[in-house]
Chain A
Amino acid sequence: MDKILVGLKRVVDYNVRVRVKSDGSGVDIEGAKMSINPFDEIALEEALRIKERGEASEVIVVSIGPSEAQQQLRTGLAMGADRAILIETGETIDALTGAKILLEVVKKESPDLVIVGKQAIDNDNNQTAQMLAALWDRPQATFASKVEFSDGVAKVTREVDVGLETIEIDLPAVISADLRLNEPRYVKLPDIMKAKKKPLEQIPVADLGIEIGEQIKEVKFEAPAQRQKGIVVQDVAGLVAALKDKGLL
């Protein structure tokens, strides 16, 4: 195949413990370390491996977000992507609008495959791949743990609740990466230097002419109910007694 398009979202790093602001107006992420969404990193790794096997000729990374998202795209380029596109916006983009934006990029680039992470670890929506596939009227293979290609068809193994499901999809198509699809590579210093010279195109979101529909409003944020620390028992006899006390044995 020719091109693979990979979505990279800029999110708060997974090691940062996010807290709700005391006035309930949002989450406090001011100054927090930002990274590529870990599932998107897996998506990119898969695209790079497909290219390295000689099954694709170009890997393009795309992000939707503020100017700072160039950092994550540069990281993607350092991992091995050929070029990058940033659809620039200072606004929070909902999932449907995000899918519409990606569809515009898809129309422009005509990729044979789009790979994104199964969910972003900020809003945990798990929607982008499915929505893009719907709007594009193409197949989707979500929660992928293994992908193989032959003659314009992808055979994808998916992690489902009861085990592993395998489906076959005609290309072009959208795949969402699950945790065990691969283990992303580490970026080496020379690659970071090389990535600075790779093309990164910035397109203001307004240039795409996308109509933003009515949004789901986020009206209040709160901390989750905390479980209280319970009792500590000294031995198995104590544990059995405590469970009997609660009527669980």
Chain B
Amino acid sequence: MSKILIIADHDGSNLNAATAKCVACANQIAGAEIHVAIFAEDGSAVAAQASALDAVSKVLKVDNPANKSPLAAVIAPQVTAIAAGYTHVFGASTTFGKDLMPRVAALLGVNQISDLMEVVDAHTFKRPIYAGNAIVTVESPADQITVATVRTASFTASGQGGSATIEFAAVTAAIPTHTRYIELKAGKSDRPDLQTASTVVSGGRALGSAEKFQLIYDLADALGAGVGASRAAVDAGYVPNELQVGQTGKIIAPELYIAIGISGAIQHITGIKDAGTIVAINKDEDAPIFEIADIGLVGDLFSVVPELQAALK
């Protein structure tokens, strides 16, 4: 039987929605017993949220002042210390999970499956390669612990009707001091989070400037949507890096995605292909984005977007 440990992604007070998707992925392995581990200075608030996730039977709290910040070098040896007895250790494909899990895998002496997107059985999974141009089915050795990061856009979050027990886990591990946390500069925003928003409005290079990108923010606010951008718009300095959607940015799966002035390079498409409905607004009728858009509108964004915003009032 599979016994799966999921490493929670959180900011000290809130559980990241990616963890609920990770649980949903683990729950697709038949008969799995699922535990969630929280590494924090004081994981009480996060543990309460994790214990409410369906399919989770136990939440392990590993409280330590050293766990105040999400440092892979600090957390990895502690994960390794509690991994014994588990058949699988999963983390979300967030920057936290992508930083931490390969370090855990190497300490456990196994390879890692990155961006797990589909469960076939307990040791057989699918994952994307070549920027999503190919999907490979992989088999992890059944006699080894399976370490994976989970491509969260491929899974629907686990429900919140659970009531798992919460336990303190005592961990004996040498915690290094060679890595120290200094600060986080987060883009402050009242808008829905790009990775979990049900509607996302994204802008591309056609916006032309940071000032004109305001059109995208205004439309997003009218829709109660999150805001994203193409790599070209980020590279041009219209918006901060963390808004980038695509292969090297965020992979998202909103119900509605509105791409404005985005041509639709394969790297961008990779980041949105699990979206429910894709709307494309672009003045170039040959733009590749129209090949995958559910609803396309050929037109000048500078007239279309204000008109759309007016129509939403």
Taking the closest CB of chain B, its distance from the CB of A228, in whole angstroms, is 8
A239 pairs with B130, CB closer than 8 A: no
Residue of B nearest to A213 (CB): B109
A95 pairs with B135, CB closer than 8 A: no
B104, B114, B124 pick with most chain A CB within 10 angstroms = B114
Choose, from B40-48, B58-66, B138-146, the stretch at the interface: B138-146
B138 pairs with A166, CB closer than 8 A: no
Q: A165-B184, A233-B295 are in contact. Are A139 and B242 (CB under 8 A)?
A: no
A180 pairs with B241, CB closer than 8 A: yes
Q: A27-B134, A232-B298 are in contact. Are A161 and B242 (CB under 8 A)?
A: yes
Interface residues as binary, A106-145 with B (CB distance below 8 Å gives 1, 0 otherwise): 0000000000000001111111101111110111111101
A163 pairs with B240, CB closer than 8 A: yes
Which residues B98-142 have CB closer than 8 A to chain A?
A: 98-107, 109-115, 124, 128-141
A142 pairs with B184, CB closer than 8 A: no
Interface assignment of B294: CB less than 8 Å from any CB of chain A: yes
Interface size on B, residues (CB 8 A): 85
Interface assignment of A201: CB less than 8 Å from any CB of chain B: no
Q: How far is the CA of A225 from the CA of B3 in the complex (A)?
A: 31
A242 pairs with B180, CB closer than 8 A: no
Taking the closest CB of chain B, its distance from the CB of A20, in whole angstroms, is 5
A227 pairs with B248, CB closer than 8 A: no
Taking the closest CB of chain B, its distance from the CB of A180, in whole angstroms, is 6
For B102, list chain A residues within 8 Å (CB): 95, 125-128, 130-131, 134
Partner of B293, one of A18, A222, A226, A230: A230
Q: A164-B241, A180-B241 are in contact. Are A169 and B141 (CB under 8 A)?
A: no
Partner of A236, one of B72, B266, B311: B311
A143 pairs with B99, CB closer than 8 A: yes
For A243, list chain B residues within 8 Å (CB): 256, 277, 279, 295
B106 pairs with A218, CB closer than 8 A: no
For A27, list chain B residues within 8 Å (CB): 129-130, 133-134
Taking the closest CB of chain B, its distance from the CB of A32, in whole angstroms, is 11
B95 pairs with A160, CB closer than 8 A: yes
Q: How far is the CA of A123 from the CA of B137 in the complex (A)?
A: 13
Interface residues as binary, A153-177 with B (CB distance below 8 Å gives 1, 0 otherwise): 0010011111111111110010000
For A199, list chain B residues within 8 Å (CB): none
Interface assignment of B172: CB less than 8 Å from any CB of chain A: no
B297 pairs with A236, CB closer than 8 A: yes
Which residues B180-198 have CB closer than 8 A to chain A?
A: 180-187, 195
For B180, list chain A residues within 8 Å (CB): 167-169
B179 pairs with A221, CB closer than 8 A: no
Q: A162-B187, A231-B294 are in contact. Are A219 and B311 (CB under 8 A)?
A: no
- Interfacial residues, chain B to chain A (CB-CB below 8 A): 11, 71-73, 76, 94-96, 98-107, 109-115, 124, 128-141, 143-144, 176, 178-187, 195, 199, 231, 240-242, 247-248, 250, 255-256, 266, 273, 277-279, 281, 290-299, 304, 307-308, 311-312
When A and B form their complex, which 5 residue pairs have the shortest distance between CB atoms, in order from nearest?
A: A230-B294, A130-B102, A134-B106, A131-B106, A163-B186
Q: List 6 A-B contacts (CB under 8 A).
A: A126-B114, A162-B11, A162-B184, A165-B183, A228-B292, A229-B291
